[in-house]
Amino acid sequence: MNLYPLGKFLVSTIFYPLYRVKVIGKENFPKEGGVLLCANHIDNFDPPVVGMTCPRTVRFMAKEELFKLPILKSVLPSVQAYPVKRGMSDREAFRNTLKILKGGEVVGLFPEGTRSTTGELGKGLAGAGFFALKGNAVVMPCAIIGPYKPFRRLKVVYGKPMDLSEQREQRVSSEEVTALIMDEIQKLIETNK
């Protein structure tokens, strides 16, 4: 059962007024085709906030442990999330992600791999670069600029789509591509504070 539209409606109803969410650059988002949506990670609420502000359905990769929790194991698949084993090479999650991207859908991920404890942008993991190169999808950088405090402004900024065809041709490494993505996210944070 797909509860994504209902989830998006409920989250929007609560979060837009509570966090005074301002969305910038939504018009930059490609209307079709595979998209790898890469955002910084500052709070547990990041996935629903990105999901509610994105004009398309976002398939989030979530840590496998969440799929074992009583309520979440039913809710997560119904809002299009899928599991990934952290700390190891999860071939099934990798294959699934590439299949989703090549199928023209949107995959959302947080390249840092975990929430930032300082609010500063951390180092991105090579997985983001790997999916960007192999998934043949457009990369959308996204910045979430907090804090998550009631009635304080929260911004979600979508940058310009990144064309990585040159990096694919030059066989640039996954780490280098992740670094490019993280640079774009950092620019969005700095120019929209």
Output the six-digit token pair for 16: 């837009």
Q: What's the predicted TM-score (pTM) here? A: 0.94
pLDDT of res. 87: 63
CA-CA-CA-CA dihedral for 8, 188, 141, 80, to nearest 10: -20
Per the structure block, which two tokens stand in for 90? Answer: 């999860």
Looking at residue 152, its pLDDT comes to 95
* Beta partners for residue 106, in sequence order: 35, 58
Q: What is the pLDDT of residue 172?
A: 92
Residues 125, 110: Cα–Cα separation, whole Å: 9
Give the span between the Cα atoms of 74 and 87, in whole angstroms: 24
pLDDT score, position 119: 79
112 contacts 122 by C-beta, under 8 angstroms: yes
Residue 163 pLDDT grade (very low, low, confident, very high; cuts 50, 70, 90): confident
Quick one: pLDDT at residue 84? 86
Average pLDDT over residues 180-189: 97
| Residue carrying structure tokens 């996954």 | 174
125: containing domain = 4-192
The average confidence (pLDDT) of the chain is 93
| Residue in this structure with the two tokens 């969410």, named with its chain if needed | 21
Report the CATH number that the domain containing residue 48 is assigned in CATH. 3.40.1130.10
How far is Cα 57 from Cα 62, in angstroms, rounded to an integer?
Answer: 15
The pLDDT value recorded for residue 88 is 60
The count of domains in the chain is 1
Query: Is the pLDDT at 62 greater than 90, yes or no?
Result: no
Q: Partners of 29 in the beta sheet?
A: none
* Least trusted range by pLDDT, from 37-41, 118-122, 175-179: 118-122
